[in-house]
Structure 1
Amino acid sequence: MRRVVAVVAALALAGCTNAPPPPLVTTEVARTEPTRAVDPGEVVVGVGSVAGGYNPHKLADQSAITTALAQMLLPSVFRTGADGVRRLDRTVMVSAEVTSAEPYVVTYRVRQEAAWSDSAPIAAEDFVYLWEQLRDAPGAADAAGYRLIENISAREGGKVVAVTFAEPYPGWRSLFADLLPAHLLKDSPGGWEAALADGFPASGGPYSLRALDRDRGEVVLERNDRYWAEPVALDRVVLRRTDVPGLVGALRTGHVQLGLTPVDAEDEPLIDGLGAEVTTTAVPGSSVAAVLLRPVSEAMRESAVRKAVVAVLDRAALIAVGTGGGPAAALPADALLVPPSAPGYQATRPAAVPVKPVPAQAQQLLTQAGYTKEPGMWQRGGVPLNLAIAPAREDYADLATEVQRQLSVAGIQSRVVTPADPYAPTESVDLLVGPMPADGDAATALASWFGCARDAAGGTTTAPPTSTTTPGGAAPEPVAANPIGYCDPGVDESVQAALSGATPVADVLADLEPRLWQSALVYPLYQPTDQFVVHRSVSGVAPGPPLAGPFALAYEWRRRG
């Protein structure tokens, strides 16, 4: 009895103290993965990120998730086929053709039943909105073609759209892809800068947006009940953020049926371990990762400085950081405008443009520009050369940091900055690390990246006179119309000839690319590539047309029982 009382007292005393209870010893219970009924109307896609904005027309928003959502939610006049050729999308359009040579007019006829998911018609208003935004907005993708438009008129309730160009434009089929709902965006808070920053207010495609949750990393798309063409078989497509180990586990348990995500060398064996349960395909993206060396900034104005920066970069190390040794490492970019996976791709990089550090060359170029190395850092007039490096998006931050490290090794000070719009051609960014879209018309891309601004008469726009204008009434400098901040009237003459078709674009590129390489304006690295993993529980799934990706064919997806 005394022993019982002692035990009870001890327990009572323990309850009055902060001492933790004794550890529980348990036996592990065998666990099984809970089963759930197959939903034949749903496909879940594991993706690397759902971060936005989501505007396919903004350079800063270019990403795999933006391309995927645009493919499923937004209407386009033309779409790329399996052979890489643009063809009229007859679910949206009746016709689109050149109806006048002088003036140059393209007439578009939109299907009468084509409408946004809120029942507003897809019509001329949407064409006008896209034109007005892209011709003037900084950081717009492939804007050169829109700047050639002089006027847009409409008839038949906006379903017939006549677009008048200032000059012939053979690349007109590249325009008016991913139309946006003008009636909802034209007066929305934040204007163009905020357009599609947080989602899609309406859909003009086979799916509509049900939910977009960045914090949870999930996007839910449902069948658009107001879609006028043949409805899709699936009720719902879910895009869910996951890493590769999580994707592999979810594919095994059936919680995910598809995956589209970047992988590195360590991830590939995990996916290979799925065996015959899946098929895998490397899907090159619609951009090229590059370092832009911007002459609009004071520090990079001299070509000798830009060439010196190129001479200190180790491209192999940059590619290793950017790709992690994954499939993208097999697609190094050696052309300025055509991505490595594109049909007819040819390397254009001159042998004189280094891909490994050449310290002696960098030293010679910086000395030529008036810099001296004291103490261990390059300076001019006692002021260090200090470059601002901006990653275009968060997923380019590691690449920007590696550029900074390589510059530091060479004695060039630098800092990583995060401007609100990294593609705006301002002096605050010397080096921009990010994607260059590569799925457009070649002549349009050339003009969008290297062309000068044009005035109403078709001539090169010049900046207004300033206090820096040289004595004797020297003409002010021409104005760039591209994110690099570059304008050379001699180059621009050839650029405009390619844009108008006066000179074949292949001939212009053969002449200009060596000159542009030597100017050290763009240093291409690689073509970002995702691994597309398809579980055998789905059918009708394919990697998609070149540079368009698998979501371009999402309307064909089916779920097996």
Structure 2
Amino acid sequence: MNRTIRVLALGLSAAALLPAVTGCGSGSGTHAAQSAAPPVGAQGINPQPVSALKQGGSLRLSITQWISQYNYYETDGTNSDGAAILSQVEPDLFLLDHQGVPHADPNFLVSAAVTSTSPQVVTYRLNPKARWSDGKPLSYLDFKQLWQDDNGSNPAYLLSQTTGYDQIGSVTQGADATEVKVTFNKPYADWQNLFTPLLPADQIDTPDKFNKGWIEKVPVTSAAFKIGSQDKTTQTITVVPDPNWWGPKPKLDSVIYRVLDAGALTDAFLNNEIDETSAQNPADYQRLVKSSATSIRTGSRWDEVHITLNGARGPLQDLAVRHAVEKAVNRPALVAAYGKDLPTKLSVLDNHFYMPNQKGYQDNAGSWGVFDPAAAKQLLDQAGWKDNGAGQPRTRNGRTLELSYVVNAGGSQQLVNQAILVQSMLGQVGIKVTIQQVPQNDYFEKYINVGNFDLTAFRFTDAIFTSQQTPNFQQPQGANVFGNYGRIGSPEIDRLLLQAGQATDPQQAVSLYNQADAKIWELGHSIELFQRPQIIADRVGLANWGASGLASVNWPAVGWQK
């Protein structure tokens, strides 16, 4: 699993993208009374020793769109599908356990530790067996190039993030070719989140290579698996074991990714076309749980659902209108509608950085998260938008108060239902909402990434290190919007996030992130809804895979029981 934060379209089945390490569950019949959300560390994946697995076989997974950009560090490469495949074929230097604690992967690192605190120096010792697929050894040059690309000093590199890299002063070779020394100008507490996945220096050493060299391809790999084939006509990507891999031999012969609409996934699973799908939708759950081929697995993932507001165009450029939208959206009603008949109880999420079951979580939404249509109307009155009566949109200077709500056409009915509810809520205060369904392969590339929307809903996932959220709220720099697709930010939020990332005292970091969160709510950046439960249907016999929670995938150990 890539610990760089990933973006998922709301309502799409992300089951194919969920790595797993421990735990298993199954069920039958109808949902019982709703239980509390699982605690941090909960997983469900049918853990088995590799000796209990068959050698061979394929794992067939769904993805939500064709991969147009595999370089996750490039601004168009943040979609979860590409990130999941990239982390399967490139070096993830640290693996997360079920509590989200990072551990150096011995296939790539002999050790990695802070060897000085003033200044902060991190020393990595590379596994001398580690090689790129072109035969070159992993070296400090790969670390150095990724730092130089990602530190934000050259605007020609279109970056999805600079966090942490912009605090590094130098990257040098240590005592020998297997040692890398990274010296920070300012402390960075989440240093284990950097350089993972690592990319080969000679494939990202110019802006052209960085921005365009990974479009629809992965030029060089270094992992247990490599890209075997890609077929754009059939929308399939096949990943196969790399015979030059120096670590434990994978049990699977291949992993096949196939683009499918969310509405087709349950049938595809029951027809034995794929081996995993989401069981979150109650109607799908009822069908899936009755199949003898199904193992229902649950876990606690860092996975939030929110509505993004675009502050770079139209009426939402006005803070008063963004505040009115915040107050007009009935979050408890949206959460109740989504969570109806789920086995896990959902709670309204009042924090952009921490999930309700995490330490550090507190309610920072304040008055901006409270449903108050009367206050919303008053804000719109004060902003000069004339109230034309019930059922009529407001106007100002001959212009209608209208917003577009962009929806991924490949998403689930839950996604459309949510948009319809928001449309009705905003209509009650005089804001006309037009729902625009767009092709799933275009959703991010032609709409979200380029700001071609007013409202939309998607998910940020797997922000195990809190600083991973920083790019989603920092002010854009020229063409670089990082992960801040609504382009709403402030110098104060940037300052608080920078200080939080530098705080080596965990309690101080939590305090600073929560201060930043309060400002994010106040700025009308986005509307948090809930932590999405992890309820996965896997094919019986699939081992070491499923509802992973916070853990990384151990790809060589994924396979089918004997």
TM-score, with length taken from structure 2: 0.74
**Pairs within 5 Å for 1:260-339:** 260-261=277-278, 263-275=280-292, 277-283=293-299, 286-297=302-313, 299-315=315-331, 330=346, 332-339=348-355
Task: Answer yes or no: is 1:449 the counterpart of 2:464.
Answer: no
Q: 1:507 to 1:525 in 2, by over 3 A?
A: same
Match of 1:119 in 2: 135
Check the 8 A contact 2:229/2:239 in 1, yes or no: yes
**1:100 Cα shift?**
3.4
2:526 pairs, out of 519, 522, 525, with: 522
Check the 8 A contact 1:392/1:423 in 2, yes or no: no
**1:179 Cα shift?**
1.7
- Output the CA distance in 2 between the equivalents of 1:195 and 1:404: 41
Residue by residue over 1:434-487, the C-alpha shift from the partner in whole angstroms, topping out at 9 and shown as x without a partner, is 333442422452x4333458xxxxxxx9x9xxxxxxxxxxxxxxx999544344
Check the 8 A contact 1:74/1:180 in 2, yes or no: yes
Match of 2:385 in 1: 371
**1:488 Cα shift?**
3.3
Match of 1:508 in 2: 512
**1:312 Cα shift?**
2.2
Residue by residue over 1:34-59, the C-alpha shift from the partner in whole angstroms, topping out at 9 and shown as x without a partner, is xxxx9851132343535324444457
- Output the CA distance in 1 between the equivalents of 2:226 and 2:115: 34
Q: 1:249 to 1:361 in 2, by over 3 A?
A: same
Give the AA of the match of 1:559.
W
Q: 1:134 to 1:284 in 2, by over 3 A?
A: farther
Give the AA of the match of 1:535.
R
Q: 1:144 to 1:208 in 2, by over 3 A?
A: same
Check the 8 A contact 2:126/2:179 in 1, yes or no: yes
Give the AA of the match of 2:502.
S
**1:382 Cα shift?**
3.2
What RMSD, in angstroms, separates the aligned Cα atoms of the two structures? 3.9
Give the AA of the match of 2:56.
G
Check the 8 A contact 1:60/1:422 in 2, yes or no: no
Where 1:299 maps in the other structure, the secondary structure is helix
Match of 2:361 in 1: 346
Match of 2:267 in 1: 246
2:225 pairs, out of 194, 199, 207, with: 207
**Pairs within 5 Å for 1:18-167:** 40-47=55-62, 49=64, 51-53=66-68, 54-57=70-73, 61-136=77-152, 140-154=159-173, 159-167=178-186
Which deviates the most, 311-320 or 369-378? 311-320
2:541 pairs, out of 537, 542, 549, with: 537
**1:368 Cα shift?**
1.9
Task: Answer yes or no: is 1:559 the counterpart of 2:549.
Answer: no
Give the AA of the match of 2:226.
S
Residue by residue over 1:35-87, the C-alpha shift from the partner in whole angstroms, topping out at 9 and shown as x without a partner, is xxx98511323435353244444575555533432342121222211221111
Structure with the larger RCO, 1 or 2 (CA within 8 Å, 6+ apart): 2
Which deviates the most, 226-235 or 287-296? 287-296
Match of 2:496 in 1: 494
**What's the % identity of the aligned pairs?**
21
**1:114 Cα shift?**
0.8
**1:230 Cα shift?**
1.9
- Output the CA distance in 1 between the equivalents of 2:344 and 2:214: 28
Q: 1:425 to 1:269 in 2, by over 3 A?
A: closer
**1:403 Cα shift?**
4.5
Check the 8 A contact 1:75/1:205 in 2, yes or no: yes
- Output the CA distance in 2 between the equivalents of 1:521 and 1:199: 34
Instruction: From the CA coordinates, give the structure whose radius of gyration is larger.
Output: 1
Residue by residue over 1:243-267, the C-alpha shift from the partner in whole angstroms, topping out at 9 and shown as x without a partner, is 344344344xxx65x3143642211
- Output the CA distance in 2 between the equivalents of 1:308 and 1:139: 33
Task: Answer yes or no: is 1:173 the counterpart of 2:173.
Answer: no
- In the alignment, structure 1 segments of 5+ residues that lack a partner are 1-37, 454-460, 464-478
- Output the CA distance in 2 between the equivalents of 1:411 and 1:529: 33
- Output the CA distance in 2 between the equivalents of 1:511 and 1:249: 47
- Output the CA distance in 1 between the equivalents of 2:419 and 2:141: 40
Check the 8 A contact 1:171/1:499 in 2, yes or no: yes
Where 1:76 maps in the other structure, the secondary structure is coil
Where 1:227 maps in the other structure, the secondary structure is coil
- Output the CA distance in 2 between the equivalents of 1:141 and 1:167: 21
TM-score, with length taken from structure 1: 0.74
Give the AA of the match of 2:203.
L
Task: Answer yes or no: is 1:547 the counterpart of 2:562.
Answer: no
**1:326 Cα shift?**
5.8
Check the 8 A contact 1:294/1:430 in 2, yes or no: yes
- Output the CA distance in 2 between the equivalents of 1:444 and 1:213: 32
- Output the CA distance in 2 between the equivalents of 1:391 and 1:182: 37
- Output the CA distance in 2 between the equivalents of 1:328 and 1:52: 32
Which deviates the most, 264-273 or 289-298? 289-298
Check the 8 A contact 1:283/1:530 in 2, yes or no: yes
Check the 8 A contact 1:46/1:239 in 2, yes or no: yes
**1:301 Cα shift?**
3.8
Where 1:220 maps in the other structure, the secondary structure is strand
**1:140 Cα shift?**
4.8
Which deviates the most, 239-248 or 105-114? 239-248
